[in-house]
Amino acid sequence: MTRQEIEKEIINIFRREFEVENPGLDENLREAYEFDSIDAIELLLEIEKLLGFELTQEEKKQAMEIRTINQICDYIEGIISQRSLPGKK
């Protein structure tokens, strides 16, 4: 999945699940849209669906500090690249 594709999917998720239209990529989601820890948990479920595999508890905890769309994309890219390392499933 390219960065552009990830970005498009995340923006779709925000529109569909969180009723947020066209968020700025570096906008602080908490400040701009009151995106809170409950939303973050819901977002992780959506990310699991997108990736087609389950995130570990450790991976999920890493996501709790995320504040922007760009950071979400970074996070997903990071997960994909970690999972593709030899010895990881």
Partner 1 sequence: MERRVVITAASAITPIGHGKEQIVNSLQNGISGVKPLREDELISRFIHSKVYGTVDYAIDYDFKRQYRKTMAPCAYYACQVAKEVLAESGLGEEFITSGKLGVAFGSIHGSPITQRDIYRTFFGATDNEAYKKIGAVDYLKSMVHTTAVNITKMFGITGRVISSGTACTTSSQSIGYGYESVKFGMQEAMLCGGADEYDTITVAVFDNLLACSTAFNNDPQRTPRPFDKLRDGLVVAEGAGAVMLEEYEFARKRGANILAEVIGFACNNNGGDLILPNLDGITNTLRLGLENAKINPDEVDLISAHATATKMGDVIEAQAINNIFGNSPYVIGLKSYMGHTMAACGSIETILSLYLMQEGFIAPTLNLEEIDERCAMIKHVQKIIQHPVRIAAVQNFAFGGVNTALLIRKLS
Residues that bind partner 1 (CB under 8 A): 18-19, 33-34, 36, 38-39, 41-42, 45, 54
CB of 9 to partner 1, least distance (A): 20
CB of 86 to partner 1, least distance (A): 26
Q: With respect to partner 1, which residue has the nearer C-beta, 17 or 26?
A: 17
Cα 2 off chain centre by: 14
- In order, the DSSP letters of 15-81 are HHHH---S--TTS-HHHHH---HHHHHHHHHHHHHHHTSPPPHHHHHHGGG--SHHHHHHHHHHHHH
CB of 27 to partner 1, least distance (A): 16
Q: With respect to partner 1, which residue has the nearer C-beta, 25 or 45?
A: 45
